[in-house]
């Protein structure tokens, strides 16, 4: 993993309008090197307490301290200034105006310092259908991808949500309508985040899409919804808490993200390491690859990929448009791309940050289309139905809706992992090496439906792995361990 320890992200479209008052309290999370002994965390906590910080929690398993301090204390200890900014939409946030400097004795120990930037970190990757569509209930999609048919009782899926909420009555009504068991859904607060439903077109649509897809594609699974503020601290802490919860989840589904360069390098590296630790520990982390094609929504004329989908141990989930037969089998699939009509398209491409991982060595991942054509981690890894025009039927705040986006694919793949775990009796965890090996030694029957038509802008689909749909879409019964 890259080991950059720059703790601030840039805000090129925001202007500084003042300084944050020195007496204001800020909650902070500090993460230390994962290989450091717990005694180092205790030493750091003692140092910060002596310096005037309030240490609210020490988490050796998460390598994490939870703190609060005044702006004055933060500025003095980290030799920085915390300013107030206004972005182009008029929203205000605070952030350091210069790179914080760590105390010398802890400069090699601290890997991330999160909480001094209150700007929004990520966007949800859902798209609401706006015209007449073909639509499907999630179990129909699971059937088309031949998910194992068995109850997932005893399995657990964690959802990361940076806004929105759910009404239990909607969940009950939705699953009763499908004649499926109503899942146990538990809201878990991280950093003050809460289950706060508002309107159907808000982030509630993301929350309910995630719950209803995961719960109906893997009937019987328990669902834990981690609500956190949409900041770097909230995002990172939520994934860290979920990854270290007991019992450990079979999968963590993340439908939020941002272009790689919109993350502070230290934050990006830390979250990638949290994902790695989760995956190698038995929890598969499924992440939406983005809904804005190969540009990832940026207008600089270059190709970009979304993070944390680009983290090497994340299962990056791209999107397709599907057609089913009257019997419910998959008849056709192509890359989801409706950019020409003002809609979305699957994310995918080549990371600028993470090198080509070993599991992709035989995948013939092309270099980036950008100048210099750098090599890097290719994404997505897999794909499934994401086009809102062939979208998922869900219920949000009492309203029936059709929703798509790669954020539907992340919980769908989490459901598949839960079913595979149930079938095998053991966690799948880091599935990449085994799944990519099927390219070099194709098994019979094949484990993926190929998707070789369409493009996401700069990249075209084709035989084998491609930067639109990865390995293809899953044939669940052929992915048995």
| Residues 100 and 31 occupy one common structural domain | yes
Tokens 């030694």 found at: 441
pLDDT in tens, 423-468: 999 999 999 999 999 998 888 899 999 999 999 999 999 999 999 9
Task: State whether 130 and 64 are in the same domain.
Answer: no
What was the pLDDT predicted at 131?
Answer: 82
Tens digit of each residue's pLDDT (9 = 90 or more) over 62-105: 999 999 999 999 999 999 999 999 999 999 999 999 999 999 99
Residue finishing a domain among 96, 114, 132: 114
Give domain status of residue 2, yes or no.
Answer: no
Instruction: Please compute the mean of the pLDDT values over residues 46-75 and round it to a whole number.
Output: 97
Question: In this model, does residue 132 exceed pLDDT 90?
Answer: no
Which residue among 206, 237, 291, 296 is the active-site one? Answer: 206
pLDDT of 3 over the 70 cut: no
| C-alpha Rg value of the chain to the nearest Å | 22
- Is residue 477 left, alpha or beta, with left meaning phi > 0 and alpha meaning psi from -120 to 50? alpha
Which residue in 295, 407, 455, 473 is the catalytic one?
Answer: 407
Q: What distance in Å separates the CA atoms of residue 33 and residue 107, rounded to the nearest whole number?
A: 11
- Structure confidence at residue 218 (pLDDT): 98
Give the count of alpha carbons within 13 A of 256, CB side only. 28
Q: Pick the range with the lowest mean pLDDT from 2-11, 182-191, 226-235, 354-363.
A: 2-11
**Has residue 138 got a pLDDT over 50?**
yes
Task: Based on the fold, state whether residues 177 and 54 are members of the same structural domain.
Answer: no
- Same domain (yes/no): 240, 333: yes
Catalytic hit among 210, 237, 291, 296: 210
**Residue-range definition of the domain harbouring residue 23:** 15-114
Please identify, among 95, 114, 133, the residue that sits at the C-terminal boundary of a domain: 114
Identify the weakest region by mean pLDDT among 133-137, 224-228, 293-297: 133-137
Q: In terms of domains, do 106 and 129 share one? A: no
Q: Band the pLDDT of 480: cuts 50, 70, 90.
A: confident
Do 269 and 394 sit in the same domain of this protein?
yes
Q: Is 310 a catalytic residue?
A: no
**Residue pLDDT, tens place only, 271-327:** 999 999 999 999 999 999 999 999 999 999 999 999 999 999 999 999 999 999 999
Statement: residue 4 has pLDDT above 60: no
User: Per-residue pLDDT for 478 more than 80?
Assistant: yes
Residue 222 confidence (pLDDT) above 90: yes
- The percentage of the chain sitting over the pLDDT mark of 90, rounded to a whole number, equals 96
Is 225 within the bounds of a domain? yes
Instruction: Verify that 186 and 237 share a domain, yes or no.
Output: yes
Same domain, 343 and 453: yes
Inside any domain, residue 1: no
206 is catalytic: yes
Which of 114, 138, 168 is the endpoint of a domain? 114
* Residue 252 sits in the same domain as residue 142: yes
CB 31 within 8 A of CB 111: yes
CATH of the domain at 205: 3.40.50.200
Mean pLDDT, the chain, whole residue set: 96
Report CA-CA distances (Å) from 259 to 122, 274, 282, 430: 9, 18, 27, 23
Separation CA 261–CA 308 (nearest Å): 11
210 is an active site residue: yes
b/e code 457-471 from CB counts within 10 Å (16+ = b): bbbebbeebbbbbbb
Same domain, 44 and 171: no
Domains in the chain: how many in total?
Answer: 2
Angle separating helix axes 204-217 and 168-177, nearest 10 degrees: 40
Looking at the structure, do residues 176 and 143 belong to the same domain, yes or no? yes
């Amino acid at each position: 993993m890259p080991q950059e320890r720059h703790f601030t992200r840039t805000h090129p479209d925001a202007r500084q309008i003042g300084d944050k008052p020195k007496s204001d309290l800020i909650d902070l999370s500090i993460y230390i090197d994962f290989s450091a002994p717990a005694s180092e965390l205790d030493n750091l906590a003692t140092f910060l307490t002596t310096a005037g910080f309030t240490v609210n929690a020490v988490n050796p398993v998460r390598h994490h301290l939870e703190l609060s301090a005044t702006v004055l204390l933060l500025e003095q200890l980290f030799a920085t200034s915390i300013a107030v900014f206004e972005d182009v939409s008029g929203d205000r946030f605070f952030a350091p105006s210069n790179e914080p400097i760590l105390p010398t004795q802890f400069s090699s120990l601290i890997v991330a310092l999160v909480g001094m930037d209150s700007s929004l970190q990520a966007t949800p990757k859902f798209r609401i259908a706006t015209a007449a569509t073909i639509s499907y209930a999630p179990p129909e999609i699971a059937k088309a991808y031949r998910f194992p048919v068995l109850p997932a009782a005893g399995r657990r899926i964690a959802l990361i949500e940076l806004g929105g909420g759910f009404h239990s009555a909607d969940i009950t009504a939705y699953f009763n309508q499908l004649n499926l068991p109503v899942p146990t859904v538990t809201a878990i607060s991280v950093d003050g985040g809460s289950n706060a439903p508002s309107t159907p077109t808000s982030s509630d649509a993301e929350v309910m899409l995630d719950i209803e897809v995961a719960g109906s594609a893997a009937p019987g699974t328990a669902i834990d919804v981690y609500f956190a503020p949409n900041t770097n601290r909230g995002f990172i802490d939520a994934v860290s808490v979920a990854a270290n919860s007991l019992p450990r989840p079979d999968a963590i589904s993340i439908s939020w993200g941002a272009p790689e360069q919109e993350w502070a390098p230290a934050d990006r590296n830390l979250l990638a390491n949290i994902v790695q630790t989760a995956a190698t520990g038995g929890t598969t982390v499924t992440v939406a690859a983005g809904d804005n094609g190969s540009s990832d929504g940026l207008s600089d004329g270059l190709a970009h990929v979304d993070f944390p989908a680009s983290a090497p141990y994340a299962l990056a989930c791209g999107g397709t448009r599907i057609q089913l037969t009257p019997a419910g089998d998959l008849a056709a699939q192509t890359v989801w791309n409706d950019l020409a009509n003002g809609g979305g398209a699957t994310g995918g491409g080549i990371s600028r940050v993470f090198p080509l991982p070993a599991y992709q060595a035989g995948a013939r991942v092309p270099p980036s289309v950008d100048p210099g054509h750098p090599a890097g981690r290719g994404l997505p890894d897999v794909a499934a139905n994401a086009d809102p025009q062939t979208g998922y039927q869900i219920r949000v705040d009492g309203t029936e809706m059709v929703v798509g986006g790669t954020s539907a694919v992340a919980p769908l793949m989490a459901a598949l992992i839960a079913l595979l775990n149930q079938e095998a009796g053991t966690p799948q965890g880091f599935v990449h090496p085994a799944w990519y090996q099927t390219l070099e030694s194709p098994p019979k029957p094949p484990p993926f439906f190929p998707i070789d038509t369409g493009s996401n802008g700069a990249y075209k689909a084709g035989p084998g792995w491609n930067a639109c749909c990865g390995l293809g879409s899953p044939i669940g019964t052929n992915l048995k361990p």
